[in-house]
Copies of this chain bind each other. A is one copy, B any other.
């Protein structure tokens, strides 16, 4: 089947290509009668404008990129569903790029996007990212960016997060109220500002409740699951092991459960656990997991809405703004 093009439509209608093009873009130069003829043939032959030709003409790809660390994670899956909903409503496609926590991959993706492939970027930083020069590149090329969750504080734009500091404070206070006096914090990455805020909440809650801070109780994890498992195993096997754990991400809480199973440590009897998590099965775990649950779908929607707002106003630099959506502490058996 031959592709239906402006040229073939023009030939069939015995019109100039430019007339057909203008009719399709609803130009005032073309009569209503001609427009009707062109539209009805275009519909009949299932004509779609070539997206690349259209992109070159309008400098618009009708595509946005979502750059994020991973999707085998309930939080990010839900965020993507939220972004999808807004993008589809605007007739846009979503390109998903997975960094797998690598700064190098993140920078390579950004370099690739600087030549018109997408109209805008939604991004959650990789855990490894320390050098952010690649993010400035995006601004130089006038491609708007909106951050969600793992935001970059020093880039001026819209940033959508949950109330990380307050949630970290609440989670720690919850463990204290349940009788914990030796509380550990599992950090997913030293570099991420949201992780630092969650940790600051933890530190301030300890201080406000006169619980001495112990450096060995802060465990910095990485993208290496085996290494993380061993770090958590060392923590829980130590002579002075914690009686409470606050995990910054659900994967670390899952590793805690696995370590406790191996070491036959009772949850919540010997150690209580609470975690940031959108895990679908949190309530079905043995024991059910107490969580700080983020409004993940809404975070995706709001981040996408900010970007499309910029498109509509034809802005490339968004004003510096923080949108904070509130998480919920859900108490279950792991902190009983």
A binding-site residues for B, Cβ under 8 Å: 1, 3, 46, 48-53, 55-56, 61, 63, 70-74, 77-78, 80-81, 84, 93-98, 111-112, 114-117, 140-141, 254, 257-258, 261, 279-281, 283-288
Contacts and interface: CB of A to CB of B under 8 A. Distances in A.
A32 to B, nearest CB: 27
Main secondary structure of the interface of A (DSSP, over half): mixed
A216 to B, nearest CB: 26
Nearest to A49: B115
Contact of A52 (B56, B80, B93, B257): B56
Contacts of A56: 50, 52-53, 56
B111 A84 contact: no
A62 to B, nearest CB: 9
How often does this chain occur in the complex, in copies?
A: 2
A115 to B, nearest CB: 5
Contacts of A286: 284-288
Contacts of A70: 81
A281 B271 CA distance: 19
A261 B281 contact: no
29 contacts: A1-B141, A3-B115, A46-B111, A48-B115, A50-B56, A50-B116, A51-B116, A51-B117, A52-B55, A52-B61, A63-B95, A71-B71, A72-B280, A77-B77, A80-B98, A93-B95, A93-B97, A93-B112, A93-B117, A94-B96, A96-B96, A258-B284, A261-B283, A279-B281, A281-B285, A284-B285, A285-B285, A285-B286, A286-B287
A84 B49 CA distance: 29
Interface centre among A3, A51, A61, A74 (most CB of B within 10 A): A51
B61 A72 contact: no
Given A71-B77, A261-B283, 7 more contacts: A51-B115, A56-B56, A70-B81, A81-B98, A257-B281, A285-B286, A286-B287
Contacts of A63: 95
A226 B99 CA distance: 35
